[in-house]
Amino acid sequence: MTRALYAMRIEGERDIVAARVKARDASAALGFSPQDQTRISTSVLEAARTVLLAGHEARADFYVDDATHPPRFVVRFLAAKGAGERLRAMRNDSKDDAQAALGLLAAQRLMDHCAIADEAGGDTSISLAKALPDHAPRELQPVIEILSRQSADDTAAELQRQNRELIAALADLRERQEELTRLTRELEDTNRGVVALYAELDARADHLRRADESKSRFLSNMSHEFRTPLSSIRALSKLLLERIDGELTEEQEKQVRFIRKAAEDLSETVDDLLDLAKIEAGKIEVRPAEFEVDTLFSALRGMLRPLSPGGAVELVFDSCEGLPPIRTDEGKVAQVLRNFVSNALKFTERGDVRVSASYDDARRLITFSVSDTGIGIAPEHQQVVFEEFGQVENRLQQYVKGTGLGLPLCRKLCKLLGGDVSLESEVGRGSVFSATIPAFYGADFDATHHAASDTRPAVLIVASNPIERLDCEAALRDSPYRAMNAATLDEASRLLSRTQPAALLLAVRPAPSEAWIWLAALRAQAATRSIPILVLGEAEDRTEAQALGATVFIEKPVGGGELPGVLDAVTGKERPS
């Protein structure tokens, strides 16, 4: 449906100027902004001049087209017969009509729609259209009345007005250009700053790596040096207790037993230190083998029974019925559970310590849990217990000995096996320590080995938490995308230097400041600027992620069916029907 506003003939230069005046008046009455009024009137002027060059006369119709959404203001020029071929030559930038071609090109850029069409009877039309603003009047009679009035301005006055508008537009354009130049310089300075920060972060990380290597060497050397005298102390105390060199008095036997117990405790600490040093130096080996969880629990039950104080505290192993055989390093899993149970028994005065296991078939993860009814850990202290030498002051501390190495060792062993540890606790009600690891160690490596034959678009998952990586992998397992993994930002940077993924999923926790710097560096570099980046974080991370250029923000935890759909949206991939 169209609603006519005005019609006029185009027969000479005066009519061209008049068409411009009518276009400006109509656009003003229809509520267009001053900038759009200038764009519309300039486009009509250029189109009218072009039509007049193509033929001797033309007709201009001004109307509102309600058939489109939103409705459009249209100015349609109908040229005489034989003008079509010449108009198309002008539009194609014919050398003979360069000025007219530039006019048409300007009209195409200034309007929402500019088209040349063949009409019935051999005529040719040029249509210019621009969407009406939201506040355009619904009643068009006042607009018709404005356009029906004869303009008192002569051609010279209108040309002067046109020049003033053009000068104002040029001034505005120059001001915007200067603002754009200033913003570009600021952006370049910011980019240089981000790159410098990233380089500084890389240098500091390298320094920390060297310091960490030195610490690991020191711990390893110290542990080896301690082992020899400790072995001698334990051997000699054993000889004394066995009366090899004669009888001992009751007091002497008591003192020798104290010496032996202290040497054994110190030996355990040295063993923990050595294990930590080996893990950090990358010199500890994983020896995966298939075993039954029930068999592991049976061995632990006999091994840990002497640690149970008995009476007030009961050590319970839940049934493992229904759990499939798993393939991982049984010795390291046993070491983690021994540390969990030992820690639970130390801080449980009455009730029970319960060991259990559960299997997640969808994610192929097995979770070992040790729950107790002990004193519990306050929320603000729950991270401290997983830090090396970190201990929480409590009323039982004076009765139990520890160095704060057991739980950090558990976390490192779990990460070595491809998983992680977690803690749920409430003061006065007990704690639940859990270790979640892949049920089949090395399955991810097999997938990587066969990735070359997988032609699906790659998604680079950057997450230090292995469980998050496994969750994202599980979400992509049956999708049109394949997963690539990076546990560190350095590893991710190396992968990006060799390949261009379809998208990148960045988990910003637990070190958001480093992740933000890395994200800004990706957006500052031409090679990675176009990669869609999905940021996975907490609710408070959303604003920072969007400000630094994240394509999409996803709040934890990532939903199983959510990720493929988001990837489709950011990569422009059509899902198969």
State the amino acid at position 124 in one-letter form: T
Exposure string of 245-262, with b = 16+ CB inside 10 Å and e = fewer, is eeeeeeeeeeebeeebee
* 27 and 138, same domain (yes or no): yes
Closest among 59, 74, 67 to 23, alpha carbons compared: 74
* 338 and 397, same domain (yes or no): yes
CA atoms within 13 A on the CB side of 535: 26
* 51 and 120, same domain (yes or no): yes
* 9 and 118, same domain (yes or no): yes
CATH of the domain at 123: 3.30.565.10
Exposure string of 389-405, with b = 16+ CB inside 10 Å and e = fewer, is eeeeebeeeeeeebebb
| pTM, to two decimals | 0.49
Quote the pLDDT of residue 318.
92
Q: Is residue 90 part of a domain?
A: yes
Quote the pLDDT of residue 404.
67
Quote the pLDDT of residue 323.
92
Q: Is residue 204 part of a domain?
A: no
Are the C-beta atoms of residues 125 and 79 closer than 8 Å to each other?
A: yes
Domain that holds residue 378: 289-438
* 132 and 63, same domain (yes or no): yes
* 419 and 470, same domain (yes or no): no
* 349 and 409, same domain (yes or no): yes
When divided into structural domains, the chain yields a total of 3
Are the C-beta atoms of residues 94 and 50 closer than 8 Å to each other?
A: no
**Does 325 sit behind a cis peptide bond, omega within 30 degrees of 0 on the bond before it?**
no
The β-bridge partners of 62 are 6, 75
* 415 and 508, same domain (yes or no): no
Residue that terminates a domain, selected from 388, 409, 438 = 438
* 326 and 355, same domain (yes or no): yes
* 422 and 297, same domain (yes or no): yes
pLDDT in tens, the chain (577 residues): 889 999 999 888 888 888 988 999 999 999 999 889 988 988 998 888 888 887 778 899 999 999 988 899 999 998 866 666 666 665 555 444 556 666 777 788 889 998 888 877 777 888 999 999 988 998 999 999 998 887 655 556 666 776 777 787 778 778 888 888 888 888 888 878 777 877 887 788 788 878 777 776 776 676 667 777 888 888 888 888 888 878 888 888 888 888 887 887 787 777 777 777 677 666 678 888 999 999 999 988 888 876 666 668 889 999 988 899 999 999 999 999 988 998 888 888 888 999 999 998 877 889 999 999 988 888 888 888 887 766 666 655 555 555 667 888 888 889 888 888 999 998 888 999 999 998 888 664 444 444 445 678 899 999 888 778 888 888 888 888 988 888 888 889 888 988 889 999 999 888 788 888 888 888 888 888 889 999 999 889 998 888 888 999 998 877 657 788 899 889 876 543 3
- Cα 106 to Cα 52: distance, rounded to the nearest angstrom: 17
Closest among 254, 271, 266, 263 to 236, alpha carbons compared: 263
